[in-house]
Amino acid sequence: MSRIYSSAKEIDFKISDLPNMPVPTEVLMVKPTYFDVEYVINPHMQGQIGKVDTLQAVNEWEHLLGGFKELGIHTHVLNGVKGLPDMVFCANQSLPFIDEEENRKVVMSIMHTQQRKGEVEIIEEWFHKNGYEILHLDPAVTEKFEGMGDALWHFKRKLLWGAYGFRTNPVAFQQISELFDTPVVILELVDEVFYHLDTCMCMLNEKSVLIYPDAFTETGLEMIHMLFENVIISSKYEAQKLFAVNASCPDGKNVMIQQGSTDVNKKLRDAGFKVHEYSTYEFIKSGGSVFCMKQLLW
Ligand code: ARG
């Protein structure tokens, strides 16, 4: 039976009632050798075709990889593939999971756009080789689902936050809820600039989240405020131009974020987080930053 929550009045649990889930300790990153903006599938890519400085992109990517290593996170690196310029955003092709018996599983995505569909089988092969049980959504039911672009695990708890509207159908979360036997809180996204959940919501720790509120409906915001004690708000400028909310807080303490997000960074520091700034300007041209440039793993 699926357990889907789509409004605050349906929420019949407290975060502290939910089973624990281990914090991911590894990441996968895909080399940006073939990264570029070759087509336009989100508003950020508009006017950016051919504008990526490839050398700079490689530098930025290497720094970010080094940053994960510095935090003690084990890193895996997969080669990029010619003709798949967006594969570098490897949060999108899958949703990994670890169950109570520590079995590692992964649901593969069904990409919304034709240009990105070929990425999924390559990432799937990587998961297969690395011992994950591979699960697929029923394509007759779910037309599109873009992995951790639109699905975020609550920090340390077995609760999934799922979003729909642009790249994912809500029905995907019914299937995922059953496959992983997990509750899912679903949120509608309403602004195409914030086309993935990871552009407007960043899990920080069990009690804290960073969001860009105008990307959500009132109903969604009510659920977010109900389940998090500390809701840190990003300005439109930092969320849209600097991808401040597409940050990553792998351990509940250290936040890796695009450089220059001054206001968000102050709020994060005031809330006790340690902020590490990275330049991801080349990737922002394609509509992604720190969070979607890696996949979290166990
Ligand atoms: N160009 C990519 C796309 O539009 C960027 C994906 C970035 N990923 C993310 N989760 N925000 O699909």
The one catalytic residue among 112, 154, 196, 276: 196
Is the CB of 165 inside a 6 Å radius of any atom of ligand 1? no
CATH number at residue 193: 3.75.10.10
Distance 140 CA to ligand 1 centre (A): 24
Per the CB < 8 A criterion, the answer to whether 109 and 124 are in contact is no
Mean pLDDT (whole number) for 287-291? 98
pLDDT confidence tier of residue 206, bands split at 50, 70 and 90: very high
* Mean pLDDT of the chain, nearest integer: 98
Atom of ligand 1 nearest to the CA of 146: 10
The answer, yes or no, to whether any atom of ligand 1 lies below 6 A from the CB of 198, is yes
Domains in the chain, number = 1
Predicted TM-score (pTM) of this structure: 0.98
Residue 216 pLDDT level (bands cut at 50, 70, 90): very high
Model pLDDT for residues 45-92, shown as the tens digit of each residue: 999 999 999 999 999 999 999 999 999 999 999 999 999 999 999 999
**DSSP strand pairing (26-30 vs 201-205):** unpaired
Distance CA(24)–CA(50), nearest Å, equals 35
Average pLDDT over residues 9-22: 97
User: What pLDDT does 183 receive?
Assistant: 98
**With contact defined as beta carbons under 8 Å apart, do 292 and 246 qualify?**
yes
- Ligand 1 pocket, 89 CB below 6 A? yes
Q: In a 3-state reduction of DSSP, which class is residue 93?
A: coil
Residue with tokens 């989240």: 209
Q: Which two tokens stand for residue 81?
A: 């593939």
Query: Is any atom of ligand 1 closer than 6 Å to the C-beta of 109?
Result: no
Q: Would you place residue 2 in the very low, low, confident or very high pLDDT band (cuts 50, 70, 90)?
A: confident
Query: Looking at residue 151, what is its pLDDT?
Result: 98
Model confidence at 271: pLDDT above 90: yes
Q: What is the pLDDT of residue 219?
A: 98
State the residue range of the domain holding 290: 3-297
pLDDT of residue 14 exceeding 90, the answer is: yes
pLDDT band for position 237 (50/70/90)? very high
Phi, psi of 174 (to 5 degrees): -65, -45
90, 200, 202, 292: the active-site residue: 292
Residue 1 is predicted with a pLDDT of: 81
CA distance readout (Å), 239 to 25, 158, 191, 219? 26, 27, 12, 21
CA nearest neighbour of 15 among 107, 153, 151, 197: 153
Q: Tell me the best of 191, 196, 290 to mutate to test the pocket of ligand 1, counting ligand atoms within 8 Å of each CB and taking the most.
A: 196
Distance CA 214, CA 223 (A): 14
The arithmetic mean of pLDDT across residues 204-228, rounded, is 98
Phi, psi of 167 (to 5 degrees): -110, -5
Is the shortest distance between the CB of 86 and ligand 1 below 6 Å?
yes
The whole-number average pLDDT for the span 99-119 is 97
- Our mutation pick for probing the ligand 1 site, out of 45, 90, 292, 295, counting the most ligand atoms within 8 A of Cβ, is 292
Q: Torsions phi, psi of 295, nearest 5?
A: -115, 135
What average pLDDT score do residues 259-276 get?
A: 98
Alpha helices in the chain (DSSP H): 54-70, 114-117, 119-129, 171-180, 218-227, 236-241, 262-270, 281-284
Give whole-number Cα distances, 107 to 41, 177, 274, in Å: 23, 11, 32
Q: Which residues pair with 15 in a beta bridge?
A: none
- Collapsing DSSP to helix, strand or coil, 197 comes out as helix
> What's the pLDDT score for residue 160?
98
pLDDT band at 36 (very low <50, low <70, confident <90, very high): very high
